[in-house]
């Protein structure tokens, strides 16, 4: 392809550029595959079949002349050449996506599909009831809600917004505080009539206590005097006939009279208001078992879609009163 004067034949460079341009989408798919580490997950993110995903990567490897992906029965990862290509181009694809989304967002009306994730119990009891009004107010927005207690990497999962019940949000994310929360001890009147009402934290050791299951944690509750900033904390080992990793399940067990439950206030609110559960040890505040705030978080980006901003504002307005009994 070299002429006698050492220069490329006319048109050769243009042909190479056109050929590379046809591979841009292939390279983007490679970047997504490298981020997610799975053909299945990458295909789902891109909205294509797994077979189409595999074919695109094969075509890209054929054009590059070197392997770009290491495939095993358990995992997929990029080769050194594949990672080099993804590192060199991934930022450009992200910038293109951000810029295009920003242009679309110039319209005053929030629009587009939002991928939202939230813990199961919190979402069912407090988040889902707020969404119909938001969707009626913003008819061009669509919400895909994933109810999950798994703390997934938001960027890798393609999540636009996550609701988290925690003490503090990760510093690597943009976060909006929605409201404060607290933990409460509750029981049914029938249980307290049968077993007596605790008057001090130490009394809990003689009661059936319904605790939240966490791997590796010994069943124990920590309490501090309510309203006292520097009050001494008391740790009480607890035991009971039932434990679960879901606050709704613990609430139902307490309603059935199985024992005293430690719940986040958003799970106990309705039953306390209805008088079906009553507070236990109101002079003491459980600490450390659940988060102290609800946050809306997303991976940091200088650009936040208008639809995300609108949803955060709506959730803040709906949750600002917190979850007291009144």
Same structural domain, 166 and 177:
yes
Domain range holding 247? 183-287
Residue after which a domain boundary falls, among 71, 97, 123:
97
Same structural domain, 267 and 189:
yes
pLDDT at 45: 78
Residue 136: left (phi > 0), alpha (psi -120 to 50), or beta? alpha
Domain with 64 in it: what CATH number?
Answer: 1.10.10.10
Domain-embedded: residue 105:
no
Same structural domain, 121 and 243:
no
Question: CA distances (Å), 2 to each of 7, 13, 19, 20, 64, in order?
Answer: 6, 12, 19, 20, 21
Compute φ and ψ for 123, nearest 5 degrees: -65, -50
Domain with 145 in it: what CATH number?
Answer: 3.40.190.10
pLDDT at 153: 65
Residue 128, both tokens: 């889902």
The owner of tokens 């990029």 is: 78
Domain with 273 in it: what CATH number?
Answer: 3.40.190.290
Measured distance CA(167)–CA(177) in Å, rounded: 11
The DSSP bridge pattern shows strands 112-118 and 209-212 to be unpaired
Same structural domain, 163 and 298:
yes
Residue 239 is classified by DSSP as B
Nearest to 121 by CA among 211, 213, 249: 249
Residue 252, both tokens: 């139902």
Same structural domain, 213 and 274:
yes
Same structural domain, 63 and 187:
no
**Domains contained in the chain, number:** 3
Residue after which a domain boundary falls, among 70, 97, 124:
97
Nearest to 82 by CA among 57, 55, 56, 53: 57
Which residues lie below 8 Å from residue 50, measured CB to CB, with a gap of 6+? 39, 40, 43
Task: Give the torsion sign (CA, 26, 27, 30, 31).
Answer: negative
Nearest to 60 by CA among 30, 89, 16, 80: 30
Same structural domain, 170 and 296:
yes
Same structural domain, 297 and 154:
yes
pLDDT at 285: 94
Same structural domain, 43 and 187:
no
Alpha helices in 37-167 (DSSP H): 39-46, 50-64, 80-104, 120-122, 131-137, 154-157
pLDDT at 101: 62
Domain-embedded: residue 214:
yes
Same structural domain, 32 and 78:
yes
Domain-embedded: residue 3:
no
pTM of this structure: 0.67
Same structural domain, 124 and 151:
yes
The owner of tokens 């909006």 is: 176
Domain-embedded: residue 6:
no
Domain-embedded: residue 197:
yes
pLDDT in single tens digits along all 326 residues of the chain: 344 444 445 444 444 656 677 788 888 888 888 888 888 888 887 888 888 888 889 988 888 889 988 887 777 889 998 899 888 887 777 766 666 666 665 666 788 899 999 999 999 999 999 999 999 999 999 999 999 887 666 666 678 999 999 988 888 888 999 999 999 999 999 999 999 999 999 999 999 999 999 887 889 999 999 877 666 899 999 999 999 999 999 999 999 999 999 999 999 999 999 999 999 999 999 998 999 999 999 987 777 889 999 999 999 999 998 887 54
Same structural domain, 88 and 126:
no
Q: CB atoms < 10 A from the CB of 40, how many? A: 11
């Amino acid at each position: 392809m070299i002429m006698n004067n050492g220069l490329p034949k006319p048109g050769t460079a243009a042909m190479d550029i056109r050929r590379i341009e046809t591979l841009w989408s292939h390279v983007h798919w490679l970047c997504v595959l490298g981020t997610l580490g799975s053909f299945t997950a990458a295909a789902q993110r891109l909205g294509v079949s797994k077979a189409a995903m595999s074919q695109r990567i094969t075509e890209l490897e054929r054009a590059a002349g070197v392997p770009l992906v290491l495939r095993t029965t358990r995992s997929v990862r990029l080769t050194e050449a594949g990672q080099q290509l993804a590192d060199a181009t991934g930022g450009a694809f992200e910038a293109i996506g951000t810029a295009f989304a920003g242009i679309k967002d110039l319209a005053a009306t929030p629009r587009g599909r939002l991928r939202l994730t939230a813990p199961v119990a919190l979402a069912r009891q407090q988040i889902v009831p707020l969404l119909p009004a938001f969707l009626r107010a913003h008819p061009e927005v669509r919400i895909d809600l994933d109810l999950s207690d798994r703390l997934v990497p938001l960027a890798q999962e393609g999540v636009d917004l996550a609701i988290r019940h925690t003490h503090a949000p990760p510093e690597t994310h943009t976060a909006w505080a929605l409201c404060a929360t607290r933990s409460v001890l509750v029981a049914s009147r029938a249980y307290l009539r049968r077993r007596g009402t605790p008057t001090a934290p130490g009394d809990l050791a003689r009661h059936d206590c319904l605790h939240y299951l966490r791997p590796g944690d010994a069943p124990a509750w920590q309490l501090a005097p309510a309203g006292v900033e520097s009050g001494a904390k008391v740790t009480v080992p607890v035991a009971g006939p039932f434990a679960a990793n879901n606050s709704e399940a613990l609430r139902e067990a307490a309603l059935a009279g199985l024992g005293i439950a430690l719940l986040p206030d958003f799970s106990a609110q309705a039953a306390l208001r209805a008088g079906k559960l009553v507070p236990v040890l109101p002079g003491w505040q459980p600490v450390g078992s659940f988060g102290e705030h609800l946050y809306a978080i997303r991976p940091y980006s200088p650009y936040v879609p208008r639809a995300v901003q609108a949803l955060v504002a709506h959730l803040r307005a709906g949750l600002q009163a917190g979850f007291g009994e009144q």
